[in-house]
Amino acid sequence: MSERWNPDDPGILRLPSGRLVRGRALPRPLPAGAPAATYAVYLLGKEPPQVPWSADWLRWPDFRLPSDRGRARELLAGAWERAAGERVEIACGGGRGRTGTALACLAVLDGVPADEAVDFVRRHYDRHAVETPWQRRYVRRFTGPAGPP
């Protein structure tokens, strides 16, 4: 049994390495027929509802940046690593701003230059991803595996 996403399913972002990650708006139902995640990172201002798969919560208020940037880096790096063989989901309330920012950071971890990561996510995930100037700046300052965000 494969632990990977179907690359043609809604919300799936294919990173340059071939890793697949699903982004979505948490309040919306799962896409019809889509499998559940095996691991998720939820980016919300308040604790998310319980889910039947492994999940971590990162306090990240709407239209803002993560409250704890060190934890953000740790969770995003872990999500990127797990995406090599698991169905990883990144989600927030609307599925665009915080989710897009996190997906752009995963793209940086995957080798996309930080100054190109927002455009990459907008081309391959959602054209409205990464909604605020400070979210775009956060991605530009996010570094690959060796450095801090």
pLDDT value at residue 4: 87
pLDDT value at residue 145: 56
The C-alpha atoms of residue 19 and residue 2 are separated, in whole angstroms, by 13
| Bridge partners for 20 per DSSP | 14
The pTM assigned to this predicted structure is: 0.93
pLDDT value at residue 1: 39
pLDDT value at residue 144: 63
pLDDT value at residue 91: 97
The 10s digit of each residue's pLDDT in 69-110 is 999 999 999 999 999 999 999 999 999 999 999 999 999 999
Low-confidence ranges of the chain (pLDDT < 50): 1, 146-149
Helix (H), strand (E), coil (C) string for the chain: CCCCCCCCCCCEEECCCCCEEEEEECCCCCCCCCCCCCEEEEEECCCCCCCCCEEEEEECCCCCCCCCHHHHHHHHHHHHHHCCCCCEEEEECCCCHHHHHHHHHHHHHCCCCCCCHHHHHHHHCCCCCCCCHHHHHHHHHCCCCCCCC
Question: Which domains, and CATH codes, for the chain?
Answer: 12-141 (3.90.190.10)
pLDDT value at residue 32: 79
